[in-house]
Amino acid sequence: MTKIEMEAMEAVIGMRKEMAKQNEIDWEQRRYEIAKECLPTVYQTALEIAKKTGVIEEPKDIVAVAVDLADLLIENLKKDKE
């Protein structure tokens, strides 16, 4: 195999590895995105409950619920892929 053929093969292998990386799911990024999307609804629900019951949730607890929802969704998405 000539030097140019070896370089071409290495380039193809490198491009294939890059394409494989692009198809991988970044679960930490997805977790952030899902929690960010859930947070306004969880917050609004906590406000409505507070109006009805007078019990005010701590902000850290509201955020924890959004993150827990994201974790649960990701867990189920991963199961579906298996």
For the question of whether the overall pTM of this predicted structure is more than 0.85, the answer is no
The span from the CA of 40 to the CA of 5, in Å, is 56
Question: Helix, strand, or coil here: 1?
Answer: coil
pLDDT 10s digits, 7-53: 888 888 887 777 666 678 899 999 999 999 999 999 999 999 999 99
| Structure-block tokens of residue 17 | 């590895």
Q: How far, in Å, CA of 80 to CA of 82, rounded?
A: 6
DSSP string, 3-57: HHHHHHHHHHHHHHHHHHHHHS--HHHHHHHHHHHHHHHHHHHHHHHHHHH-PPP
